[in-house]
Structures are given as structure tokens and as C-alpha cells.
Homo-oligomer: A and B are copies of this chain.
Amino acid sequence: MPQLKLNYFDFHGGRAEPIRLALAIGGVAFEDNRFGFPAFAEFRKTTPFGQVPTMSVDGMQVTQCDAMLRYAGKLAGLYPTDALQALFCDEVAYVVEEASVRIGPTFRMTGDEQKAARQALVNGSMPVYLAWLQGQLAAHGGEYFADNRLTVADLKVFVDVKGLNSGRLDHVPTDLVQQVAPALNEHAQRVANHPGVQAYYAQFAAK
């Protein structure tokens, strides 16, 4: 196995969390380099695009979270080998990432500007992608998004849904997922109950 070091903010969420989960579930050793926002200001200078996560693979710096997630999924056995199932898996990840890109700029806003921007998403693109995800889940058997088993697509959606439900996103109702696509909450519970996911978070609880 390659030497992996993953660099990201110190919280259980965001663009690195599906990668952390995939590696942990697959028993793939990696250095989980976490930092706060002050340290990020320095760290970003060492990255090509000023963005995290980055990952080093045997010392080579790699960017782009879902490229890393797919790689982690292959190492961990959580990525379909069948081309069509991989397509379904990838499509879901892109849709979730597209939603993240839309909400991204609102983190740099405050007050009424942030409120207006987030409400526009809540009343616009957010229910569309959540309903689509729920439809995909149903179309592929109702339990997982691809390959009839846990894949990186499930981890990507799981982290997204947890974030939406968390209350950390001001002006996004914490019952949005439940109102629009309740099957995604059932799916999130299914993923949370996975032994590998349970074991991963138990490490932190024990600390």
C-alpha cells in the first residue's frame, strides 16, 4: 500500500470526510493531518490552488477531493469494478459536489447577504438535487446508490446529508432533507450503522 497523508480541517465533515471514512472502512492506513483555520492560512500556500483537502501519495501531492475519494475507494474495495455501476457511483458524487460548489461562496458571506443566498438555494437547487438523489437510491434498489453495496457514493451523500441536518448551516432548515427526501435520512442511518463507520467514529469518542 502507498504511504498516504490526508490534509484537511479538523472536523468530522466537509470534502475530506468521505475519504477518511473510505480509507478507515477499508483498513487502509493513512496519516490524518488535521488543522484549524489559522494553520490553514499557512498550509494553503503549499498547495497549488489554495484549497484543501490535499493528499500526499508516496510523497506526491495530489489535489481534488473526489479524485482522491475514487482512489481511496479503489484501495478500500468501495468502488465498483463494473463500468456502469462506477458511472452511477460517479454521477452521484458529481451531483453532491456540484451542490457543495453552489453553497461554497455563502460561507464567505454574512448577515442578510448570506441569508438571501442560502434561502435562494433552499428554495431552488437544493430540493432538486436532494429529490434526484432520493430517486437514484430508489432506482438502484433503495439501500445503496450503486453496485448493491456500500460504495464511496454512499459516503459522499452521507457526509452531505449529515451536514445539512447538523444545524451548522444557518438559514438551511434542519428538516430540509426530511421534508424533501426522507429516504436519504434512512440511507444516512444505514451508513452510520455500518460496522466500519461505527468503528471509525468510536475511535474519536474513546479519546
Contact = CB atoms under 8 A, between A and B. Distances in A.
A74 B83 contact: yes
Nearest to A87: B71
B48 A66 contact: no
Interface in A48-79: 48-49, 57, 62-64, 66-68, 70-71, 74-75
Nearest to A66: B94
Most buried by B among A66, A84, A128: A84
A2 interface: yes
B62 A87 contact: yes
Nearest to A57: B84
A176 interface: no
A37 to B, nearest CB: 22
Interface residues of A, number: 30
A80 to B, nearest CB: 11
Given A75-B83, A87-B62, A101-B101, A132 B48 contact: yes
B71 A94 contact: no
A91 interface: yes
B129 A87 contact: no
Nearest to A65: B94
State the copy count for this chain. Answer: 2
Contacts of A91: 62-64, 67
Interface in A90-130: 90-91, 93-95, 98, 101, 125, 128-129
A112 to B, nearest CB: 22
Given A71-B83, A86-B70, A128 B57 contact: no
23 contacts: A2-B84, A48-B128, A48-B132, A49-B125, A49-B128, A49-B129, A57-B87, A62-B87, A63-B91, A63-B94, A64-B90, A64-B91, A64-B95, A66-B90, A67-B91, A67-B93, A70-B86, A71-B83, A71-B86, A71-B87, A71-B90, A75-B83, A101-B101
